[in-house]
Structures are given as C-alpha cells and as structure tokens.
C-alpha cells in the first residue's frame, strides 16, 4: 500500500515558500502523491452543508481561501520530480470540459505523467449554479464531459455532438504523457458514482472513510461491476483518505481490504503543526513499506 497526503492549500497560511517546502519534504519522505480538494468559491449560505465537517462549513482560515488546484500543482511540479498529484476531487459538472481537458493534459505533460484526475459531481448547489450550470442534471453532464475529455486526450481529431457539448474537427495537443491517457479516479458513494467508476474509472476514491465504511463501499463497488458484467481488475486503483483523527497504527487495516493508496489528511497547515504531522505520516510510510 502506497501512502500519500491530502492537503487543500489555503491562504494566508499556504504561501509560495510553504508550498514549495512542503512539496520537497513530501517527496523526501517517500510519499506517493499529494492530493488537493477543489472549490472555486465559498458562500455564506449553502443549501447543503459540507459533508466532512460537523457544522457544515469548510474549515478555511479567517480572511483566507482555497488555492486553485491547477495552478498549485503546476507550481509543485516545478519543484519536485517523483511525487504524483491527484485532484480530490475536481468538480467536473461545473467546469468547462474543453478548458479542463487542456489544463489536465498540460499538467500531465509538464509533470512528465504524474497526474491522477480525481473527479466528482460536488455537493455545493450554489457553486455549481454560480459557474453557470444546472444542479439537478449535474450527473449526466459529468458523464458527457468525461466522455469528451477522454476523446480529446486520445484521438487526433474529434467531432462531438452531445447535449451540452458540440464541435467539429477539434484538435487538442499535446496529448497526455501517460499511456492510455490521464487516469480518471471517481469519487462518490451514491449508485451513479459507482456506475461512473465502472464506466470511466481507473480507480475509486473514498474521502473520510474509516475501515468499516471502506469495506462497505467496496462491496457496493464490486456489486456494480458485477451488474455491468465485469470484474474489478487488479489495475483498478482503490484510493482512500481516512478520518483525520484515526491513529496512525490503525491505518494498516486498509491494506487488508486491498486499498492500493492511502491518502492521509494533513490537517492544519500552520507551520508548527505541519512538521509533526509529516513525521507521523513518514512513520506510516515506513510501516506500509
């Protein structure tokens, strides 16, 4: 089982110097990957609360905000050589698919094939609508956008006539460095998410899942594969971020479930807490290795 770290970098704590130092230290202790969540805007009032916090709000420092995933990974790619980068998750239904395809294949090109494209449909109704898209049809739109992107990453010239996307003789270069295109890692726990993983995914991503919850989700995933007449192959990656409070010694239980990559939450980005947390994660790297 490989060990990575989840850290959605936030201003004002995540300065250029902090991010540069973090990337080098993460690579230095042998981490497999760095993952970031995505929100382009935050709202004082939301229809639905953030599912990973008790009060329904994203824990952003006062006066701060979440850094852009694409720009931050580009910055990190320039100061590292081996660590991979994962979007955890990119909110595909509120993104322009042409721009997204270009951004991701450029990141893959510049990082020499170190990108995993984790995707989801999102929980923030206000954010989806502010980006100019509808809420109720975001699942179907996500599927079409993923289909568009996979074609743009793999075919020299693409014609497309969908419900939301239409174009003729479109060329997009450079292509991704990774053979077969950028891996799509599907996040989510509802039946459509598992169907999406079977159709598009090179893997499934579970966020804030304990060991029992992960076991339950893998059962649902395998049932979805079986319903599609397929079997989950060894090359299909299972990627999980455990709860922040889970003790390091308990995390090896994920390996017994067949989890391929455990993405441990960094937690606080305050300077005095990053170092001790990385030491804990380094110990897990050695235990898992």
- The tens digit of pLDDT for each residue in 150-191 reads 999 999 999 999 999 999 999 999 999 998 899 999 999 999
- Our CA angle for 274, 49, 35, nearest 5°, is 35
What string of H, E and C letters represents the secondary structure of the chain?
A: CEEEEECCCECCCCCHHHHHHHHHHHHHCCCCEEEECCCCCCCCCCCCCCCCCCCCCCCCCCCCCECCHHHHHHHHHCCCCCCEEEECCEEHHHCCHHHHHHHHHHHHHHCCCCEEEEEECCCCHHHHHHCCCCCCCHHHHHHHHHHHHHHHHHCCCEEEECCCCEEEEECCCCCCCCCCCCCEEEECCCHHHHHHHHHHCCEEEEECCCHHHHHHHHHHHHHHHHHCCCCCCCCCEEEEECCCCCCHHHCCHHHHCCCCEEEEECCCCCHHHHHHHHHHHHHHHHHHC
Sorted by sequence, the CB contacts under 8 Å of residue 107 that are 6+ apart come out as 70, 73, 74, 77, 85, 115
Beta bridge partners of 10: 66
Cis previous bond, 89, omega within 30? yes
Q: Are 104 and 115 in contact (CB under 8 A)?
A: yes
Which pLDDT value is given to residue 193?
A: 97
Which pLDDT value is given to residue 192?
A: 97
Name residues of the chain where pLDDT drops below 50. Answer: none
- At the fourth CATH level, the homologous superfamily of domain 2-288 is Luciferase-like domain (3.20.20.30)
Which pLDDT value is given to residue 57?
A: 77
Sorted by sequence, the CB contacts under 8 Å of residue 23 that are 6+ apart come out as 34, 76, 79, 80, 83
Length of the chain: 289
Q: Are 196 and 189 in contact (CB under 8 A)?
A: no
Which pLDDT value is given to residue 9?
A: 95
Q: Which of 72, 99, 71, 85 has the alpha carbon at shortest distance from 177?
A: 85
Which pLDDT value is given to residue 61?
A: 80
């Amino acid at each position: 089982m490989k060990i990575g770290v989840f850290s959605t970098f936030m201003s004002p704590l995540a300065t250029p110097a902090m991010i540069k130092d973090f990337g080098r230290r993460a690579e230095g202790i042998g981490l497999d990957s760095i993952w970031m969540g995505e929100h382009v805007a935050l709202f004082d009032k939301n229809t639905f609360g953030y599912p990973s916090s008790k009060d329904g709000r994203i824990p952003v420092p006062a006066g701060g905000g979440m850094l852009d995933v694409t720009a931050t990974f580009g910055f990190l790619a320039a100061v590292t050589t081996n660590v991979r980068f994962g979007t955890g998750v990119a909110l595909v239904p509120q993104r322009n698919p042409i721009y997204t395809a270009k951004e991701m294949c450029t990141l893959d090109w510049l990082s020499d094939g170190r990108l995993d494209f984790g995707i989801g449909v999102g929980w923030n109704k206000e954010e989806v609508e502010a980006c100019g898209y509808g809420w109720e049809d975001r699942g179907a739109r996500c599927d079409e956008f993923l289909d568009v992107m996979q074609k743009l990453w793999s075919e020299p010239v693409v014609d497309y006539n969908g419900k939301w996307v239409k174009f003729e003789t479109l060329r997009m270069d450079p292509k991704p460095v990774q053979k077969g295109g950028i891996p799509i890692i599907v996040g989510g726990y509802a039946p459509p998410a598992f169907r999406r993983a079977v159709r598009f995914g090179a893997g499934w991503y579970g966020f804030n899942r304990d060991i029992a919850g992960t076991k339950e989700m893998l059962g649902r995933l395998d049932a979805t594969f079986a319903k599609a007449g397929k079997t989950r192959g060894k090359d299909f990656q299972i990627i999980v971020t455990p709860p922040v409070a889970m003790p390091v010694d308990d995390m090896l239980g994920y390996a017994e479930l067949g989890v391929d990559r455990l993405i441990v939450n960094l937690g606080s980005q305050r300077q005095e807490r990053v170092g001790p947390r990385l030491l804990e994660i380094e110990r897990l790297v050695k235990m898992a290795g």
